[in-house]
Amino acid sequence: MGNPATLKKISTQLNLSISTVSRALKNHPDISESTKRKVKELATLMDYEPNAYAVNLRTNKSKVIGLIVPSISNMFNDSFIAAAEKEGREKGYTLMILQSGDDPVQEAENLKLLKQYRVDGILISVVTDSYAITSFEKFSESGIPILFFDRVPSTIKFDTVCMADEEAATLAANAIINYKKKNILALFGNEELSITKKRKEAFQAVFDESKEKIKLQVAACKSSDQAMRVVADALLHNKPDHVFCMSDELLIGAMKAIHQAELKMPKQISILAISNGFIPSLYSPEITYIETSGFELGKLAMRRMLENLENKTEPKAIILPSRFVEGGSL
């Protein structure tokens, strides 16, 4: 007891060589059926499990994919992780998950660690998409493929998988116009993130091109609380008939203000959000939203990575289309 079984222990007990035991367990044709049987029996009896470290050392493949996210506890990331884990597992890969906590230094350390573990590939959502990617370029020269997801640097040197940010915003804007909304309050997040810029520009572009006479007020909110205050204030003054939220965080704040004002959806005020769908389902009526599914993204990202592991291809930018999900708030 204590130390786990090894090929050697099995081999000495059976008076066989290590190589024979190894081959027997792998159904190598060179080994006779009778010894295969004996070996396998003893192996299961001894609860033998191959030492992954020895295997990886020998084969130079770890069957582990590294995953770096700013934070695990975030509705988007966790569904991404869940999907990636599931997708990878089906092909025999496991996940090593690291948090960078919005700290570039920690992020760099994470990369080092994953390199030490000789992971076969890395999935990463960077802490900020504005800084230099030379460190990643240098890193990828070491032979470990990197795939960026969600928050991606703007370069074509790497595989990227992200949401159709512009498309989602355009979809949202068109829906709002179709529903004949005339006085709109649109909430956007941290303006330093490229995702915010993209969504905002696409959103506004639709209204700029529209012939309709529509009043559009755009607000940048850095937190849920700020969104609540902005909406509460707007409700008192310019009385919008529609509020658009580009993220769950903002939606939460907006809904608090709306509840406090005791407004009824969708009659007195209508809502549209960009979300993965969980938060919208908490309200009654449920919030209509443009879906950006972390789950789908995780599936796609892992799939792409595995594809690349099998036969290296050119870097590709994959964009996950978004779709309109009817709630009762619009």
Partner DNA sequence: ATCAACTTCGCAAACATTTGCGGAAATGAT
Partner DNA sequence: ATCATTTCCGCAAATGTTTGCGAAGTTGAT
Tell me if the bond preceding 145 is cis, omega within 30° of 0.
no
Minimal distance in Å, beta carbon 96 to a copy of itself? 6
Judged by CB, which is closer to DNA: 6, or 223? Answer: 6
Stretch that binds a copy of itself, among 23-31, 47-55, 154-162, 174-182 (CB under 8 A): 47-55
Residue with tokens 């303006």: 191
- Nearer to a copy of itself by C-beta: 71 or 128? 71
Residues 199-228 that bind a copy of itself (CB under 8 A): none
Q: Rounded CA gap, 313 and 263, in Å?
A: 53
Residues facing 243 on adjacent strands:
185, 271
Quickly tell me which residue has 């007020």 as its tokens: 217
Strand (E) or helix (H) holding 270: strand 270-275
Check the CA dihedral 63-66-72-74 and report its sign.
Answer: negative
**Candidate residues 52, 105, 108, 156; the one interacting with a copy of itself per rule CB under 8 A:** 52
Pick what 19 binds: DNA, a copy of itself, none; C-beta below 5 to 8 Å, kind-dependent. Answer: DNA
Binding mask 10-49 for DNA (x = CB under 7 A): -----xxxxxx-xx-xx---xxxxxx------------x-
Q: Does 142 bind a copy of itself (CB under 8 A)?
A: yes
259 interface partner picked from a copy of itself, DNA, none, CB below 5 to 8 A per type: a copy of itself
Q: Which of 98, 184, 185, 254 binds a copy of itself (CB under 8 A)?
A: 98
Q: What does the alpha-carbon distance between residue 86 and residue 105 come to, in Å, rounded to a whole number?
A: 29
Q: Which amino acid is at 327?
A: G
Q: Does 28 bind a copy of itself (CB under 8 A)?
A: no
Residue 141 interacting entry, from DNA, a copy of itself, none, C-beta within 5 to 8 Å by type: a copy of itself
Tokens of 156: 């074509």
Which helix (H) or strand (E) covers residue 216, if one does?
A: strand 215-220
Q: Which of the choices DNA, a copy of itself, none does residue 23 contact, using the CB cut-off of 5 to 8 A by kind?
A: DNA
- Any contact of residue 311 with a copy of itself (CB under 8 A)? no
Residue (72 or 218) nearer to a copy of itself, CB: 72
Angle ∠(81,144,306) on CA atoms, nearest 5: 50
- Minimum distance, C-beta of residue 290 to a copy of itself, in the bound complex (Å): 20
Among DNA, a copy of itself, none, what does residue 185 contact (CB within 5–8 Å per kind)? Answer: none
How far apart, in Å, are the Cα atoms of 319 and each of 159, 163, 167?
11, 6, 10
Binding footprint of a copy of itself, residue count (CB under 8 A): 54
CB 322, CB 163: distance < 8 Å: yes
For the chain, the first-to-last Cα distance in angstroms comes to 65
Nearer to DNA, 116 or 311 (CB): 116
Under rule CB under 7 A, residue 51 binds DNA: yes
Query: Which of a copy of itself, DNA, none interacts with 255 (beta carbon under 5 to 8 A by kind)?
Result: a copy of itself
Closest CA to 189 of 273, 118, 309: 273
Strand 323-325 relative to strand 317-320, pairing: unpaired
**155 within 8 A of 133, measured Cβ to Cβ:** yes
Output 50 or 315, the one with its CB closest to DNA.
50
Q: Could you tell me if 158 and 316 are in contact, meaning their C-beta atoms sit under 8 angstroms apart?
A: no
- If one asks whether residue 295 binds a copy of itself (CB under 8 A), the answer comes out as yes
Q: Contact at 8 Å (CB) between 270 and 179?
A: yes
Report the interface residues with a copy of itself, using CB under 8 A.
Answer: 1-4, 47, 49-54, 56-57, 62, 64, 71-74, 77-79, 81-82, 85-86, 89, 94-99, 101, 112-113, 115-118, 138, 141-143, 252, 255-256, 259-260, 279, 282-284, 295
